[in-house]
Each structure stands twice: as structure tokens, then as C-alpha cells.
Amino acid sequence: DGGITQSPKYLFRKEGQNVTLSCEQNLNHDAMYWYRQDPGQGLRLIYYSQIVNDFQKGDIAEGYSVSREKKESFPLTVTSAQKNPTAFYLCASSTSAGEKLFFGSGTQLSVL
Amino acid sequence: SQQGEEDPQALSIQEGENATMNCSYKTSINNLQWYRQNSGRGLVHLILIRSNEREKHSGRLRVTLDTSKKSSSLLITASRAADTASYFCATDEYQAGTALIFGKGTTLSVSS
């Protein structure tokens, strides 16, 4: 069953803690993306990757880091430098940049 | 950078009525896409229209694109309660051909 899987569904972060959100796809897509969504808002681009071992910053990359060591995986780390991390995080993939996106079901991150 | 801007922000209609949402953007594009999001879920791709196309249909959905006015509209005919969701337009940045940029969305409420 092809798709894109995000985990966990809910995540809680303590002050000063780094947390990592998982995103895995088995669609054989080259491009992967991380978006942040705040309540009642649209999606803002954090990072994207068009190919393994390469990624680019989006509009709101500060306080976040990513890696793309495997085609299937694009984990997002929310660092302690991100002072307002509470949001809904969405991972997506596509065959190539600018084409139809397939989204995961999202991770809700909250601060304890 | 916010590329697409939807209008209206919220729309309430009765079942059976048509719903029209509009999207305006700022720069040249290769394509424009519409997505749907149910509350607390990931986005689902609805339709993609390329810059050399003027109209596209998919089931009860009709999308138009006017590149001279940098605008698009999404028409949902014979709305159902199950159409209740948020709808987003997204565009690619023509120069870079990179990640999609999303608008803030239109929240559609269809009552029976």
C-alpha cells in the first residue's frame, strides 16, 4: 500500500529539548517537503529536498534541521532554537519539484 | 513568501448549491493546484492546471485559470455536506521551479 507516513501523530516538547519528526515514503518520489501549519493558516515551507543528500531552506527554516540520507526518508528536527514550535507539521512528496504533492497525515507538536 | 491568496476566507452554503472559491497569485507560474484539507488531516490533491490551460474539469470540480489576471477559480457544483473542508490553492515559483507555495485557504461549510 503506497503512501507517505508521518510519526508520531502527537508529540510534546519540553523547554530546551530537540525533537525529531519522522517522514517515510514508499512512492519512489525524488522530492520531499516539510510544511508548518498554524491554526486557521495556510502552509509555510520549512525545508525541501529534490534529491538524496541535498536540501534547501524554505521561508521559515530557522530553528529547524533536516537530513536526506535515503530517498525514502526525510526527518525534521525541531531544535531548541525554535521558540514557538507549537504547530501542525505536514510532510509531502512528489515525483519532482512543482508537481502534485502527496501528503502524510501530519504531526501535532505541542510544548509542555 | 505567500504566493496564492484565496477569497473568500470562509463560505457557508446549503447542500445542492454551488461553491466558488478564488485564488490570486503574484508571479509567473508553470502550474496551479488545488488541495482539500479536512480538519486535522493532511491535504489531498484535487486538480492541477498548467499555465497553457484555461479550464479543467474533474467530476463536480471545475477549475479556471486566467494568467493575464494571475487568478484561478475553483467551482464545486451540487455541494454535499461531505464537501465541508478547507480548500487551498498552490503555485510553483516559475523561476526556480521548486517547492509549492500555498495560500491561506477558504473554509467551506456545507449544511444539510
- Give A27's contacts in chain B (Cβ within 8 Å): none
Quote the pLDDT of residue A40: 80
- Give B23's contacts in chain A (Cβ within 8 Å): none
Residue B1 burial class via C-beta count within 10 angstroms: exposed 0-12, middle 13-18, buried 19 and up: exposed
Distance of alpha carbon A55 from alpha carbon A63, whole angstroms: 15
Q: How far is CA B20 from the centre of its chain?
A: 9
Distance of alpha carbon A48 from alpha carbon B100, whole angstroms: 10
* B10 touches A: beta carbon within 8 Å: no
Nearest to A75 by CA among A46, A34, A37, A45: A34
Quote the pLDDT of residue A73: 98
Q: Using alpha carbons, list the distances in angstroms from residue A85 to A1, A46, A97, A112.
A: 32, 12, 26, 11
Contact status, residue A76 vs residue A67, Cβ threshold 8 Å:
no
| Backbone torsions φ then ψ of A73, nearest 5 degrees | -125, 140
Mean pLDDT of chain A: 94
* Stretch among A94-98, A102-106, B60-64 having the lowest mean pLDDT: A94-98
> What integer is the mean pLDDT of A91-101?
90
- Give B101's contacts in chain A (Cβ within 8 Å): 45
Sign of the C-alpha dihedral, residues B75, B78, B79, B82?
A: negative
pLDDT (tens digit, 9 = 90+) per residue, A26-71?
A: 999 999 999 999 988 889 999 999 999 999 999 899 999 999 999 9
Quote the pLDDT of residue A45: 93
Mean pLDDT by 10 residues, chain B (112 residues): 77 97 91 94 96 96 96 97 96 70 94 93
Nearest to A35 by CA among A88, A97, A84: A88
Do the chains contact at B43 and A98, CB–CB below 8 Å? Answer: no
Sign of the C-alpha dihedral, residues A37, A43, A47, A50?
A: positive
